Amino acid sequence: MRITERKAVVVGLSGASSSGKTTLARLLRDIFPNSFILHEDDFYREEKELPTKNGLLDWDCAEALSIPDIKSSLSHIQDHGTFPVGPSHSKLRSRPEPTLNAAQPQFDSKEDRNDVGQCPVSDAAIAGLKGRVAAWTQPGRPGHGILTSSESALRLCIFDGFLLYAPSMAEIQPHIDIKLFLRVGYEKAKARREARTGYATIEGWWADPPGYVDKIVWPNYVEDHAWMFEDGNVEGKFKEDVLKERGIHAQSQQGPDVDMETTLVWTVDVIMKSLEISSGNEKL
């Protein structure tokens, strides 16, 4: 990835439902300057257009998403550094575009109405990472001029979604510059998902019916991600050669249930190093 003539870099955060993507995205937005979040969940089709599986609406598949809208939105973000506006992007319900150095663009996100619970990372750890990133952006440091202190400073779009790297999403993948994947085991994913009261949707609110994780969520996750793992075991070892070929970063030396603080530190490291390399600053 070389970031030339760009206004934004897109960081993809993907993984199973309840793997911590949205929590991590919000933490990264607080830590990195000039950053904002785009949620894949804001690109769901209307409920009447969703496919069914096992007699249930299937929210956890590519067919439930408007892939052309995702692609065009990511392209716009890379070219302009902000959310798209206009009739062709009406599903995003965007408000006026922000200036380059504004905070989170004003955007009515359904996903932002969903509660992710108490932050699992200590205030001290967050403050430490903020300080580390701030120091990284100073003159003479590898991050200087990438996200701040330059007319060509980039925005950092943190794009979280349950389905980013599967073959069914190939159309959007060229628009994701830094690809990260989060793991979670079945037991923890199920417990977290079933603890949620529901999700905001275009129509209003969706609550999982009984058995939804076992009938829809987990089988779909396995089907869409088995190719990343040895023997197709999504709780086993990654196929390192496949990750390298696809340019996907994962905590491959860790088990499926890494704590969020460890994951946050790892993610910050990957993003900083990737930005250094793509901007040509890695030798500073």
pLDDT at 115 over 60: no
- 25-55 in b/e form (b: 16+ CB < 10 A) is bbbbbebbbbbbbbbbbbbbbeeeebeeeee
Q: Cβ(226)–Cβ(219) under 8 Å?
A: no
Is 133 among the domain residues? yes
pLDDT of residue 110: 52
Q: What's the number of domains the chain is made of?
A: 1
Of the two residues 200 and 242, the one the predictor is more confident about is 242
* Mean pLDDT within 172-181: 97
| CA atoms lying within 13 Å on the CB side of residue 283 | 1
Residue 203 confidence (pLDDT): 75
Quick one: average pLDDT of 13-35? 96
161 lies in some domain: yes
Under the banding of pLDDT at 50, 70 and 90, the label for residue 152 is: confident
Domain range holding 199?
A: 8-279
CB atoms within 10 A of CB 122: 10
Residue 225 included in any domain: yes
- Confidence tier at 128 by pLDDT (50, 70, 90): very high
Distances (CA, A) of 132 to 21, 47, 135, 264: 22, 43, 5, 13
Tell me the percentage of the chain whose pLDDT exceeds 90: 74
- In-domain check, residue 254: yes
Lowest mean pLDDT among 32-41, 86-95, 111-120, 185-194: 86-95
User: What average pLDDT does the structure give for the chain?
Assistant: 88
Q: What is the length of the chain?
A: 284
Distance, CA of 128 to CA of 7 (rounded, Å): 28
Q: Report if residue 1 sits inside a domain.
A: no
Quote the pLDDT of residue 3.
64
Residue 248 in any domain: the answer is: yes
CA 23, 119, 99, 141 torsion-angle sign: negative
167 part of a folded domain: yes
Residue 94 has which token pair?
């965007």
The CATH number given to whatever domain includes residue 265 is 3.40.50.300
First to last CA, the chain: 19
pLDDT of residue 283: 56
CB-side exposure of 55: number of CA atoms within 13 Å? 3
The residue with greater pLDDT, 49 or 200, is 49
The alpha carbon torsion through 18, 113, 63, 217 (nearest 10 deg) reads 20
Per-residue pLDDT averaged across 99-115, rounded?
46
Instruction: Name the pLDDT band for 214 (thresholds 50, 70, 90).
Output: very high
Has residue 284 been placed in a domain?
no
- What integer pLDDT is reported at residue 240 of this predicted model? 97
**Helices marked H in 6-102:** 21-31, 67-80
